Amino acid sequence: MATVTFHEAPVNTSGELPAKGAVAPDFVLVANDLSEKTLNDYAGKKKILNIVPSLDTPVCATSTRKFNVEAASLQDTVVLVVSADLPFASGRFCATEGIDKVTALSTFRSTFAKDYGVALVDGPLAGLAARAVVVLDAENKVVYTQLVPEITDEPDYAAALSAARNAS
């Protein structure tokens, strides 16, 4: 279990992020068209998992926009924005915001948040995911993680992007 804060109040997660060097747990997440996506759907590509509580918050929306801009410059890399938002809501958000370089995926019908150790188990956001970034190489090995200490803060974009660019 890890502890982060939400408006400076401590909240706990369900576990720990996957360890650097470990193979990432597989997942089943729901795309905006209600299809199910797994790690295998992105085989052979590096992956940036931008994990957020909800796209319907200012910081989550900002991180999605920033990764959307940066994704265009990344070779053989996909950026997956993972949230608890229903696919309909994330689809609407992406269409309204012009998000077309990242893929929004929902934890709807999924154990992703628990499997990745980011499920918030207490506090006002219990049931949502903590803010985190996990970067995987083309073989799904974890090359970078960040559990953002304060949920209302943005992730370290530069470090995540650098890890993706330098991954094999």
Catalytic status, residue 94: no
Q: Which of 48, 60, 71, 151 is flagged as catalytic?
A: 60
d(C-alpha 47, C-alpha 164), whole Å: 7
Residue 158: is it exposed, middle or buried by C-beta count within 10 angstroms (0-12/13-18/19+)? exposed
120-127's contacts with Cβ under 8 Å and 24+ in sequence apart are: 120/11, 120/12, 120/13, 120/14, 120/53, 121/1, 121/11, 121/12, 121/13, 121/14, 122/11, 122/12, 123/6, 123/9, 123/10, 123/11, 123/12, 124/6, 125/6, 125/11, 125/53, 125/151, 126/11, 127/84
The SS3 of residue 14 is coil
State the Cα–Cα distance between residues 107 and 114, nearest whole angstrom.
10
Looking up tokens 């265009």, which residue turns up? 72
* Residues identified as active-site: 60
